Structure formats: structure tokens, C-alpha cells
Amino acid sequence: MFGWQQSFADHHGSPGAAIKLRFMIRWIPLVVLCPPPWVSAQTADLEQGKQLFESLCGSCHGPLGNGGRGANLAQPQLRHATDDRALQNVIRRGIPGTEMPRHSFLNPSKLANVAAYVRTLGRVAPEEIPGNASRGEAAYASLDCVICHTLSGKGGIVGPVLDEIGARRSAAHIRDALVEPEAFTPDGYLQLRAVTKDGLALTGMRVNEDGFSVQFRDFSEGLHSFWKDELDVLEKQWQRSPMVSYEGRLTPEQMDDLVAYLVSLTGST
């Protein structure tokens, strides 16, 4: 028995206690060396993080992270990820109820590298947006957008809620959606045209459907439910949108103003 083991045994009255202590000390370095599930950004491989971001995230968030179908990540503070640990959790687990998917297949090192690269996007120079947001607010009101879109708790429910649109979409994406709305219909959105056997024709947004029935909401927010054998026509109009194109309806200056206003809607107080 080593001297320190004998001293320990003398103190605790058992050689077995000294053996247990030796095993405990043998395992301590392994515990200390096990990395946490999040790794410091200081040790991250930013080049690998960039490559992973471009392949996994760029199609939604934009190659520079300034938004598209996904949120604008080119900002100093991210709403769903206030620190590195939270950011890695969002990447790994996704955000339920949104288009943000899980990336649980990433190992801890790759996860940390992606998160570290995302953090660098917050140091990108802010996007320069022409136009006047105050005039854009007036344009928004004049176009009756409130019929379909909710803003500050008021408006329709056919279109997406706009309170945080500036944090979720880039200016370029918003402009493109105003010009060509049918190219940017949300995932899961399906427009239906139904004609009953007695000649009633209705168009609306599908709410639910099974093999025997269909429920949809018309653009006046009326809810309809039919057995499918009650219908002469049930047409599924994929990639159709009730929103009109504003190309030609607005001057270039008015379009700039409207985009500037929508980009300013970040949900911040």
C-alpha cells in the first residue's frame, strides 16, 4: 500500500476506503476533460461553421444571414438566442411552430462552429434601406393590408402576422413578395376553390382536410365545412395567393417607403 493510501486507511479505518479513493482520483481527469454540449466560440472553426451554415441554413436565412424565408440573423441580438448556449439549442432543437427545423444530427463541435459563425453575422454592416418608413406606414394603411394581415392585434388572419416581419425577413425578400406574392406563399398554405352541387362557388384558405370532408376559411374570414360528396368542384390552387402584386400599382418611391416601413416592424418596444 502506498504511503498516502496507508494514511488514508489509518484515518478512515479501512484499506478498502483508500482503494475507492484511488479509483475516484483515476476518474477525475476524465470528468474534467469531458466538454460541455456547447463549446466556446473562441475555439470554434469559423470556416467550417460558414460552410455548414451555407449548406444547411443559407437557403432560408440568406447567404449573409440577412433573412429570406428564415429570420434575419445579421443583427447583434437574436430574439430566440440571447447567448451561445441558447443559440446552439435553437440550432439543435429547432423552434416548434415555425419553419426552423431541428439539426440534431450535428455533433457538438460542428454545432458550436455553426453557432460561432452565426454570431459573426451580427457584426455585418446593417442593410441600407431607401425610403421613408413614416410615409410607408401611410401607404400601408391606404392599401387596406389590414384586411388580411394582423398588426398590433388588429386586422385579418388570412395573411401572416406582421408585427415582427422586419426581424424575420430581409428588405429584399419583402420587396420580392410585394412584387410576386405567389412565389412566396407560406409553407402549408393552400388556396381552395369549391363549387357546391347547388352552384355556390367559394374560394378560401384550407384549414383542414381528410378523405371525406374539407374545411376552409374564405377571404372574409367565414369558415366553411363540406362533405366532399356535396361538392361538384374542389380545386387545389397550389402557389396561389389572394395578395395582389404591387408592381405597377406603386411608384418606385412608394415601394421603397412601404418596404422601409415593413422592415421597421421588428416587434421591439
- Could you read off the pLDDT of 168-179 as tens digits, one per residue? 788 888 999 999
Task: Give the domain ranges of the chain.
Answer: 3-33, 41-121, 133-185+244-263, 191-237
pLDDT band at 8, cuts 50/70/90? very low
Residue found by looking up cell 425578400 in the block: 173
- Could you read off the pLDDT of 43-92 as tens digits, one per residue? 568 899 889 888 888 878 877 777 767 777 877 777 777 788 888 888 88
What one-character DSSP code corresponds to residue 85? H
pLDDT at 16: 54
pLDDT at 205: 93
pLDDT at 122: 74
pLDDT at 27: 44
Tell me the CATH architecture of domain 41-121.
Answer: Orthogonal Bundle (1.10)
| Lowest mean per-residue pLDDT among 7-16, 141-150, 166-175, 215-224 | 7-16
| Lowest mean per-residue pLDDT among 25-29, 83-87, 140-144, 217-221 | 25-29
pLDDT over threshold 50, residue 35 = no
pLDDT over threshold 50, residue 130 = yes
pLDDT at 53: 87
Q: What is the pTM of this model?
A: 0.64
Task: Choose the CATH number for 191-237 among 2.40.50, 2.30.30, 2.60.120, 1.10.3470.
Answer: 2.30.30
pLDDT over threshold 70, residue 37 = no
pLDDT over threshold 50, residue 28 = no
pLDDT at 268: 62
Residue found by looking up cell 429547432 in the block: 94
Which residues fall within 8 angstroms of residue 1, CB to CB, at 6 or more apart?
A: 9, 15, 18
Using CA atoms of 108, 110, 116, 119 in order, give the dihedral in degrees to the nearest 10.
Answer: -100
pLDDT at 2: 47
Domains 41-121 and 133-185+244-263 are alike in CATH topology? yes
pLDDT band at 129, cuts 50/70/90? confident
With H, G, I as helix, E, B as strand and everything else as coil, classify residue 242.
Answer: coil
Using CA atoms of 33, 43, 80, 185 in order, give the dihedral in degrees to the nearest 10.
Answer: -120
Superfamily of domain 133-185+244-263: Cytochrome c-like domain (1.10.760.10)
| Lowest mean per-residue pLDDT among 37-41, 195-199, 232-236 | 37-41
Whole-angstrom distance, CA of residue 64 vs CA of residue 92: 20
pLDDT band at 120, cuts 50/70/90? confident
pLDDT band at 125, cuts 50/70/90? low
Whole-angstrom distance, CA of residue 184 vs CA of residue 228: 29
Averaged pLDDT of the chain: 81
pLDDT at 157: 84
Three cell numbers, residue 89? 439549442
- Alpha-helix runs per DSSP H in 68-154: 84-93, 108-121, 133-142
